[in-house]
Amino acid sequence: MNSVATAIQYDVIRERSLGPIRDELVGVFNQTRSRKVNADRFEWLYHQNPDGHAVIWSLRRSDTGEMVGFTACIPRRMIVNGEERLAWIGSDFSVLPKYRTLGLATKLRRAAKSAIDAGEIDFLYAHPNDRMAVIHQRVGHANIGSIQRYAKLLSTGPILQEYSRSRLLADVGKTILDPALRLTDPQVLSRRQYTICEESELRFGEQFSRLFHEVRPERGIIGVRDADYLHWRYGQNPLADFRLLTAHKGNRLSGFLIYSVIDDAIVVQDVFPATTALVRDLFSEVTRIGRQRQLQSATFTVLEETPLQQAVCRCGYHRRAERSQMFTYAADDSDWAHEVVEGGEWYITVGDRDV
């Protein structure tokens, strides 16, 4: 398999636009993923992003021009120590199985690194799977930590049914165990400091932009969460349905949380800001909603060793097995390379990843 791939010459091509290659991208992507997508996903992700159009590199056979792989970088406005920078999110790395060699994958991955070295963009971050993590290390990207999934059990019924294989025994068991589960919840005695509302529509007005710019951290690295970005990332997203919780003091927006429901779990996508009381009140409402809808669990994925991760653990969330690595890259001679690559505090949730 690999001998066939390496006997041919390959070119990495920077594509000029999405339109002429849309069908090729869909074809390659769907041959390398279990979850199939259509062209709407690429139009939304690559062209509608308020931070700019995606940059696409394809890997093509020199003899036929056939696309055998591609990768993209999604622009994202980031705040680094109080200053706005433009970054790329490494996304959609796809190589057809027949052509998966370390050399070809590395050649494709180096394209973005070369553009950063040339000063085209400030820095890059990515969340590769374990196989692709080797490629990121090979081209010189820095591993800055683990993205970890945390979960909270909301009902014992599904677990009891799985082990007992009896719906009746599960129903009887949960009537006994679920009240105990609620009583031992660390949020049960917490008095809310904010008014929490579940919005009927996924709308993001200027108050969201004002909130972000007023309370964003002055140190560390965080993606811009203004109205334009939130509307695109969640309101226009063709891949899933999202719901919005807002936190208020009086008539003023103090924070928000965005979630979706997948199978029997309520999945928190993003929360901002990371103050302890605000996170506690928003996640308390997530618990209430999940139990009201008889869901089994609530989950949240976040970069470890951050204040947000610590606040979530105080809400009764526990580390699960699922995790991935986060890599970043900035040119050595840039003013922000040390902060980005060598330990700056990142505010990263699952909503900051590629999709």
Q: Encode pLDDT of 118-151 as tens digits.
A: 999 999 999 998 888 999 999 999 999 999 999 9
Residue type, 211: L
Token pair, residue 278, equals 């605000």
- CATH code at 149-325: 3.40.630.30
- Residue from 60, 59, 49, 132 nearest 87 by CA: 49
**Average pLDDT for residues 190-209, to the nearest whole number?**
93
Token pair, residue 322, equals 């699922």
In 96-249, the DSSP E strands lie at 123-126, 142-153, 195-198, 221-223, 243-249
Question: What are the structural domain ranges in the chain?
Answer: 2-140, 149-325
pLDDT at 232 over 50: yes
339 pLDDT tier (thresholds 50, 70, 90): confident
With both helix axes pointing from N to C terminus, report the angle between 130-138 and 102-117 in degrees, rounded to the nearest 10. 60
Looking up tokens 């979960």 gives 151
Q: What is the pLDDT of residues 56-88, one digit of tens each?
A: 999 999 999 999 999 999 999 999 999 999 999
pLDDT at 1 over 50: no
**Average pLDDT for residues 239-266, to the nearest whole number?**
95
Q: Round to whole Å and give the CA distance between 132 and 50.
A: 28
With both helix axes pointing from N to C terminus, report the angle between 167-183 and 157-164 in degrees, rounded to the nearest 10. 140
Q: Round to whole Å and give the CA distance between 355 and 146.
A: 18
**Average pLDDT for residues 160-178, to the nearest whole number?**
58
Comparing 2-140 with 149-325, is the CATH topology the same? yes
pLDDT value for 101: 83
pLDDT value for 170: 52
Q: Round to whole Å and give the CA distance between 160 and 175.
A: 11
pLDDT value for 336: 77
pLDDT at 48 over 90: yes
Mean pLDDT of the chain: 89
pLDDT value for 162: 59
pLDDT at 4 over 60: no
More confident residue, 253 or 251: 253
307 pLDDT tier (thresholds 50, 70, 90): confident
2-140, superfamily in CATH? Gcn5-related N-acetyltransferase (GNAT) (3.40.630.30)
Q: Round to whole Å and give the CA distance between 169 and 24.
A: 52
Q: How far is CA 169 from CA 59, 131, 159, 165, 251, in A?
A: 56, 42, 11, 8, 47
- Residue from 198, 227, 194, 229 nearest 210 by CA: 227
- Residue from 209, 275, 272 nearest 246 by CA: 272
* Residue environment code for 91-114, b if the CB has 16+ CB neighbours within 10 A, otherwise e: bbbbbbeebbbeebbebbbbbbbe
Q: What is the pLDDT of residues 268-281, one digit of tens each?
A: 999 999 999 999 99
**Average pLDDT for residues 323-352, to the nearest whole number?**
87
